[in-house]
Amino acid sequence: MPASYLLTWTIVALATAGVILRPRGWPEAVWAVGGALLLVLSGLLPGESALQAVGRGWDVYLFLIGMMLLSELGRQFGVFDWLADWTLSRARGSASRLFLDLYLLGTVVTIFLSNDATAVVLTPAVLTVTRKARVHPLPYLFACAMIANAASFVLPISNPANLVLYGGHTPALLPWLKSFALPSLASIVTTYLCLRRALPLGDPPAQVEQRTHLRGAGRLTLAGIVLTAVALLVVSALDLPLGPPTCLAALSTAALVLITTRTSPLPILQGVAWTALLLVAGLFVLVEGLSHTGVVAQMAQALPHWSPPLAGAVLAVACNLMNNLPAGLLTSSVLAAAHPSQAMVDSLLIGVDLGPNLAVTGSLATILWLSALRREGEHVDSGKFLQVGAQVMFPALFLALLLRWL
């Protein structure tokens, strides 16, 4: 192996470790961008190639901006408080019912708005619920994080990684459902059952004495979120990029709400986690650096010798070492070179989508989930996540891959 290849792999490995471990508490974006800059400055990756890699993520950037804007609008104008009261009133003092309702809500949001939306939009709402209910938040937060990945291959729009892996051109809806309906159902149900077994719910939730009323700005925000979901379904059916309509819908909603309430946009803009965009850009560049070492050609030659379930399982674990977004990008290049069977492609997609439930840095959705928790003063230990994730991810992955293989 040439020394330049070895050095590239070392830089990428160290940057990835920084994203996972966050030494000194520095944000994940610092390590991803730092590794990307080091590749370029050391001459291991041409600057032009790095810029092209950053440019390939434009659809993801716009999608995230839109979702983060909608989330911040929902937080500031009472949508999450209203949703918390509605959920608690349905629970009627039952922790099991509250857990199930939040899990089902996360399933719906993931299917129709994507797993990143579940992390960005739903996590603050779940925190609001647990605080009003005066219950330990950990089980309910884990439900939010895990369903974001477990339900992320029900539809093509349920995970931006789906678009990345298929090179932006996913199969039509009916063939997609034929391939993934049963594996998705198995993933969702198994994840729920394993979570209930792994995490005791504790005390019953408190009853809601006085429900929050959703006022004008909150209603506009909720309408904007619903219309965004409809727009995503339409553009997905038309095989169009998801980022522009998501960002446009969010900006339109924000403009309407801010004009109606005569509110400054600065608090909304300050609440958006802009570093998430830098993280994604850095990850795209790191993958481009790996591609320059010839790894894509080597993987394409090896792929025909693997069975689809085994390839999907290996990729599922690998996603937790490098994040599923760059893993999906790398896999997309391999698929373009190898031209494998549809069963292989589907198994790899299941691995990319479901595998990240093992570790906190497995998917962008989970990283966004962690960022949302930190903003609210909450902390989830990576070791605890791994402990729970191992109990949840492997059974769900086994059943999903088995059903797709059969």
Tokens coding 331: 């896999």
User: Could you report the per-residue pLDDT of 49-91, keeping only the tens digit for each?
Assistant: 999 989 888 888 898 898 889 888 888 888 877 877 788 888 8
Q: Does residue 26 register a pLDDT over 90?
A: no
Residue with token string 């990345």:
164
Q: How far apart are the first and last CA of the chain?
A: 40
Which helix (DSSP H) or strand (DSSP E) does residue 112 occupy? helix 95-113
Tokens coding 318: 């690998």
**Looking at residues 279-303, what average pLDDT do you find?**
87
Q: 93 pLDDT band (50/70/90 cuts)?
A: confident
Q: How far is CA 269 from the centre of its chain?
A: 21
For the stretch 134-155, what's the b/e string if a residue is b when 16 or more beta carbons lie within 10 angstroms of its beta carbon?
ebebbbbbbbbbbbbbbbbbbb
Which residues, in sequence order, are CB contacts of 192 under 8 Å at separation 6+? Answer: 100, 103, 143, 147
Q: Are 64 and 104 in contact (CB under 8 A)?
A: no
Q: What is the pLDDT of residue 398?
A: 97
Residue with token string 């320059």:
292
Q: What is the pLDDT of residue 332?
A: 86
Q: How far is CA 128 from the centre of its chain?
A: 21
> CB count, 10 Å around CB of 55?
11
Q: What is the DSSP letter of 137?
A: S
Tokens coding 272: 């958006």
Q: How many CA atoms lie within 13 A of 213 on its CB side?
A: 2
Closest to 245 measured CA to CA, from 261, 256, 230: 230
User: Residue 313 and residue 206: Cα distance in Å, rounded?
Assistant: 41
Closest to 224 measured CA to CA, from 373, 90, 89, 72: 72
User: Residue 84 and residue 79: Cα distance in Å, rounded?
Assistant: 9
User: Residue 85 and residue 125: Cα distance in Å, rounded?
Assistant: 10
> CB count, 10 Å around CB of 53?
23
Name the residue with higher pLDDT: 237 or 368: 368
Q: Does residue 239 register a pLDDT over 80?
A: no
Q: What is the pLDDT of residue 349?
A: 95
User: Residue 76 and residue 66: Cα distance in Å, rounded?
Assistant: 16
**Looking at residues 283-307, what average pLDDT do you find?**
87
Length of the chain: 406
Q: What is the DSSP letter of 376?
A: T
Give the relative orientation of helices 324-338 and 275-291 as an angle to the nearest 10 degrees: 30
Sign of CA dihedral 167, 173, 179, 185: positive
Q: What is the pLDDT of residue 208?
A: 65
Q: How far is CA 204 from the centre of its chain?
A: 30
User: Residue 382 and residue 305: Cα distance in Å, rounded?
Assistant: 34
User: Residue 162 and residue 160: Cα distance in Å, rounded?
Assistant: 5
Q: What is the mean pLDDT of the chain?
A: 87
- Range ranked top by mean pLDDT from 37-46, 167-176, 273-282: 37-46
Q: Are 114 and 63 in contact (CB under 8 A)?
A: yes
Q: 397 pLDDT band (50/70/90 cuts)?
A: very high
Which amino acid is present at 189? V
User: Residue 113 and residue 106: Cα distance in Å, rounded?
Assistant: 10
Closest to 114 measured CA to CA, from 244, 250, 23, 243: 243
Residue with token string 């990307």:
36
Q: Does residue 168 register a pLDDT over 60?
A: no
User: Residue 162 and residue 155: Cα distance in Å, rounded?
Assistant: 9
